[in-house]
């Protein structure tokens, strides 16, 4: 399945009454992208969005790690992620970003039942400044241990399945 462009993404989003989108800000490791696509497929995500620059695309490694999900989950590569985020907002989606620095509510306290785009940052650096500024809310994942953050693919799974739980979607 070839990557969608921004117009194709917006057309796809318009087909869903309650869109469920995942935005990845510069995820570069193909193993992480493969694991994320596999999880996104399991969660029923309608599309995964990533920038064309500074991010991994669909490679053979991604396909292998995703165990086929790379061929099923619509994947959009966009030139200007901030502009795409603005268009998603205009289409009625709430953009919820996760951040290690978020002093806001935990992901478990937010209402994730409506039209939603979850925004995940890159390995090591997290979200870029403009990406973070374009989010409607920033959420944290509560952690009891000593480490400060989770791997992006693990954090994505936690957030996606919290949305699934709230929406009472039964993954197929």
Which tens digit of pLDDT belongs to each residue from 116-146? 999 999 888 889 999 999 999 999 998 888 8
> Could you tell me the pTM of the whole model?
0.94
Round to whole Å and give the CA distance between 75 and 23. 10
**What tens digit of pLDDT does each residue of 79-123 get?**
999 999 999 999 999 999 998 775 778 999 999 999 999 999 988
Choose which CATH entry (3.40.1280.10, 3.40.228.10, 3.40.630.40, 3.30.1300.10) describes domain 6-168: 3.40.1280.10
Which residues are within 8 A (CB) of 20 and not within 5 positions of it... i.e. 6 or more apart? Answer: 43, 44, 45, 46, 115, 116, 163, 167
Q: What is the DSSP letter of 2?
A: P
């Amino acid at each position: 399945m070839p990557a969608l462009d921004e117009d194709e993404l917006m057309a796809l989003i318009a087909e869903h009454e309650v869109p469920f989108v995942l935005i990845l800000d510069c995820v570069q490791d193909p193993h992480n992208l493969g694991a994320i696509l596999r999880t996104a497929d399991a969660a029923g995500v309608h599309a995964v969005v990533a920038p064309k620059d500074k991010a991994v695309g669909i490679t053979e490694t991604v396909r292998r790690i995703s165990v086929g999900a790379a061929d099923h989950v619509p994947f959009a590569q966009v030139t200007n992620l901030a502009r795409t985020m603005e268009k998603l907002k205009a289409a009625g989606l709430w953009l919820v970003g996760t951040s290690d620095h978020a002093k806001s509510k935990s992901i478990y306290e937010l209402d994730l039942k409506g039209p939603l785009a979850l925004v995940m940052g890159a390995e090591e650096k997290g979200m870029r400044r403009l990406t973070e500024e374009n989010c409607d809310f920033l959420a944290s994942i509560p952690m009891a241990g000593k480490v400060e953050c989770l791997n992006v693919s693990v954090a994505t799974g936690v957030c996606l399945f919290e949305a699934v739980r709230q929406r009472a979607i039964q993954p197929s």
